[in-house]
Amino acid sequence: MTVTLGTSAKPADEPTAEAATEALPAAPGPDAHPGATDPQVRIDVPWLTEYLLGRWAEDRKVARAGMREERYHRIPGQTMAEHRERVTGQLHQLVADDAVHRAFPARFGGRDDHGGNIAAFEELLLGDPSLQIKSGVQWGLFGAAILHLGTERNHDEFLPGVLDLTIPGAFAMTETGHGSDVAACATTATYDPATQEFVLDTPFRAAWKDYLGNAARDGRAAVVFARLITLGVDHGVHALYVPIRDADGAFLPGVGGEDNGLKGGLNGIDNGRLHFTEVRVPRTNLLNRYGDVAEDGTYSSPIASPGRRFFTMLGTLVQGRVSLDGSAVLASKVGLTIAVRYANERRQFAGAAADGTADEVVLLDYQRHQRRLLTRLATTYAMSFAHERFLDKFDAVFSGAADTDADRQDLETLAAALKPLSTWGALDILQECREACGGAGFLAENRIAQLRADLDVYVTFEGDNTVLLQLVAKRLLGDFSAKLRGADRADLTQFLAGQVGDAALHRMGVRKIVQAVTDAGSTARAVGRVRDESSQRQLLTDRVHTMVSEVALRLRGASKLPPAEAAALFNRNQDALIEAARAHAELLQWESFTDALAGIPDESTRHALTWLRDLFGLGLIETHAAWYLAHGRLSAFRTLGITDYIDGRLLPRLRPLAAPLTDAFGLEPEHLRAAVATGAEGVRQDEARAYYAAQRAAGTAPTPEKSPKR
């Protein structure tokens, strides 16, 4: 997660050996069967399916097998009350199926398997996203907070009821007035030494805990995040176990709340609000791994710094971001599998056939349709490989295999980088899939519209995406500044001179002139100098490095300004910071995809996925063409050449591979549950074509009004 100190990387001006010697099959002709694969490039679908399932393939398979069963499926058209009741019943089925214990200690019937737990949890989306998120509230938030923020005392007292679902619980962190800004929450937990109790209060309406799963109906307890005050000192935000309802479901004295009501999606979850008025809980209900209060009110913590303590506590709950990243990837795979299957069968508008007759064209044969789906297929593969690397990092930290402060910081930065891109990406992918299926995509029976509605809130779950990217940007700036601080005077002088000289070179357009002369009007030459792996890496890396260094130099000296002026300076550069963080996350995805190629033994499969990686990488460069032009990294001719290469070479090569590439996601009909992904559209199209062919053969077809024979 570091930014290399030095001058900006520069794209190669000469084609690499890889680019110069590339020998690829020609694009398929117009008569290629919609489902056919170029005979020179085939994909080993069973092997690729296993590869995509990743390190925890068996956990995914077990969970995916369960999600084939109708008892875990959402029933379209249910009322909110019916949907909530069904999802609550499904959680009890998960307990009966021993599907919720993986991450918990062995002494509670678990496996201490953090990576396998997240992998299996992600697959619950295939049954119903409401089921997935409500189970995540119970065991991934409520239970995990007790596990990671509590000590054995807390574990022994509270975890058994969490695990067997006798105590459904809420995770009460977010407040109406403070969402992502957890450190500013207003709920208080004031210690009373006379009774050895904490007294919880929400002092005003904006301090109510809000949007909490299990709070409106099912919850019997909550992990409440509040400002811990003892002996008149505010020690910052801590978590406490707080009973909220009795056995009959009535609020306990001092506890109140509201139902959030009907939402844009995830209506199988009983989200609600909670507030507290002088609610007393025993001193031992404090989850005291990182901070404790003695009987006399004395506070102690193994972490002296309040800021570091706060971020350490929040860092233990990073698994929510990990699972949302993977869930967004899986939802994208569902949408694309449905849309590609439909596009391979649905025909629209007449085209000239070889025999002179008119035949309607399969949607995926249209270049624009390929642009819509294949580019997003490339993004989904990049997200998928990045997620598996992310999950490996998460497991290493939580298993203790690599659990230093630096490891945890890297994990948190990775989570803050990837979760925004995958959740935003899923919404874009599902929307495009919905539109690509036309009116059929809007029908409930074809799943996509509901899936997108359910995933909408993922972009603000576990941290607003924009706020998360700001955290990434601050980390990048910190790494950059650390490199500068570590440089000696000679290195620093050389670096700053290089920055100034490089900027001047780009402003004068010298590099663009050199590119234009070198390319000499040849699109092939222009693309040959940027399409290979090393050039993609240089261009994507250079963008991140330059964006970070530009902002860092603009913010130089901010620490010496008065607070108000420093805040204003930071605010003027906030958008640039967030864009730099996004560019960094895109680079992480590209690197993950590229690294994954090295693990593919079959040459043909690797060749196909290299095209897909190139579509992703060159697509990023094309998307950010304005930046590359403005900063002199690419000439206009090379920029246009990239678009021509995508449209003229990559899309035609990948078009016949769309079906096997989505088949490799390994999703069964019971997972998709979409009428247009069953082959029914192909049957309808064949029936229609046969009807018109019979008419023509029998000579009974009516003569068109404009026909010259009329």
Q: What is the DSSP string of 476-545?
A: HHHHHHHHHHHS-HHHHHHHHHHHHHHHHHHHHTHHHHHHHHHHTT-HHHHHHTTSSHHHHHHHHHHHHH
Antiparallel, parallel or unpaired: β 221-230 and 169-172: parallel
Question: 326 in a domain, yes or no?
Answer: yes
Cα separation, 330 vs 426, in Å, equals 9
pLDDT band at 316 (very low <50, low <70, confident <90, very high): confident
Average pLDDT of span 508-528:
49
The answer to whether position 438 is within a domain reads yes
Whether 361 and 234 share a structural domain: no
What is the CATH classification number for the domain harbouring 271? 2.40.110.10
Q: What is the pLDDT of residue 2?
A: 43
Task: Please report whether residue 650 resides in a domain.
Answer: yes
Q: Supply 652's token pair.
A: 């035609």
Judge if 363 and 236 occupy the same domain. Answer: no
Q: Do 300 and 324 reside in the same domain of the chain?
A: no
pLDDT given for residue 557 in this prediction: 82
Per DSSP, 303 falls in state: -
Nearest Cα to Cα of residue 91 among 105, 72, 77: 72
Q: Clarify whether residues 377 and 284 are in a common domain.
A: no
Rounded to an integer, what distance in angstroms lies between the CA atom of residue 26 and that of residue 174?
A: 55
Of the pLDDT bands very low, low, confident and very high (cuts 50, 70, 90), residue 17 is: very low
pLDDT-derived band of residue 22, with 50, 70 and 90 as boundaries? very low
662/341 Cα distance (integer angstroms): 9
Environment class of 208 (CB within 10 Å of its CB; exposed 0-12, middle 13-18, buried 19+): buried
Alpha-carbon distances of 596 from 360, 372, 374, 589, rounded to whole Å:
39, 24, 19, 11
Q: What is the pTM of this model?
A: 0.90
Angstrom distances, CA of residue 314 to CA of 122, 148, 195, 559: 21, 10, 29, 26
How far is it, in rounded angstroms, from Cα 184 to Cα 175? Answer: 10
Confidence of residue 18 (pLDDT cuts 50, 70, 90): very low
- What pLDDT was estimated at residue 38? 53
pLDDT classification of 480: cutoffs 50, 70, 90: confident
> Cβ–Cβ contacts within 10 Å for residue 687, how many?
9
> Of all residues in the chain, what percent carry a pLDDT higher than 90?
77
Region 613-632: mean pLDDT is: 96
Query: Residues 127-143: pLDDT tens digits?
Result: 999 999 999 999 999 99
* Phi, psi angles (nearest 5°) of residue 169: -135, 160
The order of strands in the sheet holding 209-212 is 209-212, 272-276, 255-259
Distance, C-alpha 105 to centroid of its chain: 28
Residue 13 in domain: no
Residue 290 and residue 392 in one domain: no
Q: Which pLDDT belongs to residue 496?
A: 46
Distances (CA, A) of 392 to 80, 256, 389: 37, 41, 5
Examine residue 601 and state whether it is found in any structural domain, yes or no. Answer: yes
pLDDT > 70 in the chain, percent:
86
Same domain, 479 and 593: yes
Task: Tell me, yes or no, whether 8 lies in a domain.
Answer: no
Closest CA to 432 of 573, 332, 526: 332
SS3 at position 273: strand
How far is residue 517's CA from residue 128's CA, in Å, rounded to a whole number? Answer: 57
Query: What band does 4 get if pLDDT is binned at 50, 70 and 90?
Result: very low
Closest residue by Cα to residue 364 from 87, 705, 28, 20: 28
Q: Output the pLDDT for position 615.
A: 98
Inform me whether the pLDDT recorded for 215 exceeds 80.
Answer: yes
- pLDDT tens for residues 638-691? 999 999 999 999 999 999 999 999 999 999 999 999 999 999 999 999 998 899
**Based on the domain organization, do 560 and 640 belong to the same domain?**
yes
**Which has the closest alpha carbon to 484: 582, 556, 379?**
556
How far apart are the C-alpha atoms of 320 and 455, rounded to whole Å?
Answer: 14
Q: Is the pLDDT of residue 162 over 80?
A: yes
Does residue 339 contact residue 441 with C-beta atoms inside 8 Å?
yes
β 255-259/299-300 pair status: unpaired
DSSP, res 456: G
pLDDT per position as a tens digit, 247-292: 999 999 999 999 999 999 999 999 999 999 999 999 999 999 999 9
487 pLDDT band, cuts 50/70/90, is: low
In this structure, the answer to whether residues 326 and 288 fall within a common structural domain is no
The residue with greater pLDDT, 451 or 509, is: 451
At 63, is the secondary structure helix, strand, or coil? helix
Boundary residue ending a domain (278, 296, 317): 317
The answer on pLDDT for 29 being more than 60 is no
CATH at residue 615: 1.20.140.10
pLDDT at 358: 67
Residues 299 and 372 in one domain: no
Q: 704: pLDDT confidence band, cut at 50, 70 and 90? A: confident
Question: Are residues 326 and 306 part of one domain?
Answer: no
Q: Sign of dihedral through CA atoms 700, 701, 704, 705? A: positive
Secondary structure of residue 408 in the 3-state scheme: helix
Asked if the model's pLDDT at residue 497 lies above 90, the reply is: no
Token pair of 683 as six digits: 């049957």
Among 540, 541, 511, 543, residue whose Cα is nearest residue 636: 511
Cβ atoms of 342 and 363 closer than 8 Å: yes
3-state SS class at 678: coil
Which of the four pLDDT bands, split at 50, 70 and 90, describes residue 696?
confident
Residue 290 lies in a domain: yes
In this prediction, residue 67 carries a pLDDT of: 98
At residue 704's C-alpha, the angle toward residues 702 and 709, to 5°, is 95
Which residue in 540, 641, 619, 551 sits closest to 587, CA to CA?
540
Report yes or no on 328 lying in a domain: yes
Q: What is the reported pLDDT for 76?
A: 93
Task: Please state the rounded mean pLDDT for residues 287-307.
Answer: 96
Query: Looking at residue 240, what is its pLDDT?
Result: 98
For residues 473-488, give the mean pLDDT. 79
Q: What is the pLDDT of residue 364?
A: 96
**Single residue among 273, 301, 317 that ends a domain in this structure:** 317
**pLDDT over threshold 70, residue 28:** no
CA-nearest of 298, 163, 294, 270 to 212 is: 270
486 vs 586, residue with greater confidence: 586
What's the pLDDT at 132? Answer: 97
What pLDDT does residue 443 have?
96
Residue 335 and residue 299 share a domain: no
Q: Is the dihedral of CA 396, 398, 404, 406 positive or negative?
A: positive
Please identify, among 259, 284, 317, the residue that sits at the C-terminal boundary of a domain: 317
74-77 LR contacts (CB < 8 Å, sep 24+): 74/127, 74/128, 74/130, 74/131, 74/268, 74/450, 76/444, 76/445, 76/450, 77/444
Q: Which residue has the tokens 């300004």?
A: 561
Domain residue limits at 113: 57-317
Q: How far is CA 150 from CA 159, 223, 399, in A?
A: 10, 11, 17
Per-residue CA distances from 350 to 269, 357, 411, 515 (Å): 47, 9, 53, 43
438 and 503 both lie in a single domain = yes
Instruction: Give how many domains the chain has, as a whole number.
Output: 2
Q: Give 399's pLDDT tier (boundaries 50, 70, 90).
A: very high
Q: How far apart are CA 299 and CA 230, in angstroms?
A: 7
Q: Which of 83-97, 305-319, 421-435 has the lowest mean pLDDT?
A: 305-319
CB neighbourhood size of 506 (10 A): 17
Beta strands 292-293 and 299-300, pairing class: antiparallel
Angle between helices 465-486 and 405-436 (to 10 degrees): 140
Mean pLDDT of the chain: 89
Q: For 36-80, how does the pLDDT look when each residue is reduced to its tens digit (9 = 90+)?
A: 445 578 999 999 999 999 999 999 999 999 999 999 999 999 999
Whether the per-residue pLDDT at 428 is higher than 50: the answer is yes
Relative to beta strand 358-362, strand 255-259 is unpaired
